Amino acid sequence: MTTAVLPAAAPRSAPLARLLGSELTWVLRRPRTLVMLGVLALIPIVIAIGVTVVADEFADRRGGPGLIGAVAGNGLVLPVASITLALALLLPMAVTTAAADAIAGEAASGTLRGLLLAPVGRLRLVVMKAFGVLVVATLAVLVIAVVGVLAALVVVGAADGQLVTLSGTTIGLAEAMGRLAVVVVWTVGQLAAVGAIALALSSLTEHPMVVLAAVLGGLIVFGVLTAVPALDWLQPYLLTSGWTAGADVLRDPMPWGGLIESSLRALCYTAVGAGLATHRMLRRDA
């Protein structure tokens, strides 16, 4: 037998900090998480290279108002543009993968019952899993932001430390970084909404692929619905309809309306998703 000494009052659950630490190690050791982060890091690099190459050819007729076009010669737009671009599909995919593995994946590999038998309380399990997904979301956005800034400084040049906004004005480096932080936090919030819905689906099945297909399919359907003019009344309810607001930080003065509205919407989605996931996990057979 092992030499474990049982404390007088036997605890009914492991310390939360240790559970979260263990979840973090598990998430970060998973090869697909690392591959995903690596791919996300490539986005700003690819855009930066693409823009420098293209910028030379189009040097004369530059001035197209596109977000990507604005990157040329104005490096600090790069991280914001990369995050906005990745939010369309890659970031939600990274978060959904994490959420799918978090519960459905654990059920599929037979490790969920191990956790429940330990026992990790069912509520704690949801907290632990939500934490893991949130960590992946945050890391994914941060990777793009950090690589984006570095790539901008190296490849595109920082426009003398100034950020030329889409409105044509310039702001200082400090404020530019502040605005980047705003877009990072805002994006993590949107991804938390995706993650919460994905976790809810994940708690319903033991097939991670189902979660991935459902969430990504849902996002595409949302995109289609957004494009149908007759369904304009649906817009306030669709998570994706506010996802262009990230680029607002590049305007001067910065319009907060879109960012706040989409954040509130994300909050609603997060609450619904977390509620469903908790409700289901309290009853789930493992």
Partner 1 sequence: MTSTEKTSTEKTTEKTTEKTGTEETGTDRRTTSSDDPATAAPAAEAGFAARAIGLRKVFGATVAVDGVDLDVPTGSVLGMLGPNGSGKTTLIRMLLGLTRPTAGRAELLGHDVDAAASAALPHVGALVEGPGFHPFLSGRANLSRVAAAEPLLGRQPLGPVVDAALERVGLSAAADRRYRGYSLGMKQRLGLAAALLLPRRLVVLDEPTNGLDPAGTRDVRRVIGELHAGGATVIVSSHLLAEVEATCTHVAVLQSGSLLAAGELRTLLDTGGSGLVVSTPDVELALRTLREVGVTAYRTEDGVAASDDGPPAPEVIALLVRAGVAVHEARRNRTNLDELFARLTEETP
Least distance between partner 1 and beta carbon 131 (Å): 14
Least distance between partner 1 and beta carbon 281 (Å): 13
* Tally: H helices and E strands in the chain: 11, 2
Q: Is 279 in the site for partner 1 (CB under 8 A)?
A: no
Least distance between partner 1 and beta carbon 116 (Å): 7
Q: Is 14 in the site for partner 1 (CB under 8 A)?
A: yes
Q: What share of the chain is helix, strand, coil (3-state, %, to 5)?
A: 75, 0, 25
DSSP characters over 218-267? HHHHHHHHHH-GGGGGGGGG-GGGGTTGGGGGGSSSPP-HHHHHHHHHHH
| Nearest of 80, 48, 38, 81 to residue 154 by alpha carbon | 48
Per the CB < 8 A criterion, the answer to whether 277 and 204 are in contact is no
CA distance 1 to 203: 36
Q: Is 25 in the site for partner 1 (CB under 8 A)?
A: yes
Q: Is 1 in the site for partner 1 (CB under 8 A)?
A: yes
Per the CB < 8 A criterion, the answer to whether 163 and 173 are in contact is yes
Site residues (CB under 8 A) for partner 1, limited to 31-60? 31
Q: Is 13 in the site for partner 1 (CB under 8 A)?
A: yes
Q: Is 174 in the site for partner 1 (CB under 8 A)?
A: no
Contact map string, positions 114 to 133, toward partner 1, x by CB under 8 A = xxxxxxxx------------
- Shorter beta-carbon distance to partner 1: residue 1 or 228: 1
Per the CB < 8 A criterion, the answer to whether 99 and 202 are in contact is yes
Candidate segments 111-119, 142-150, 200-208, 242-250, binder of partner 1 by CB under 8 A: 111-119
Q: Could you list the residues that contact partner 1 (CB under 8 A)?
A: 1-15, 18-19, 21-22, 25-26, 29-31, 109-121, 283, 285-286
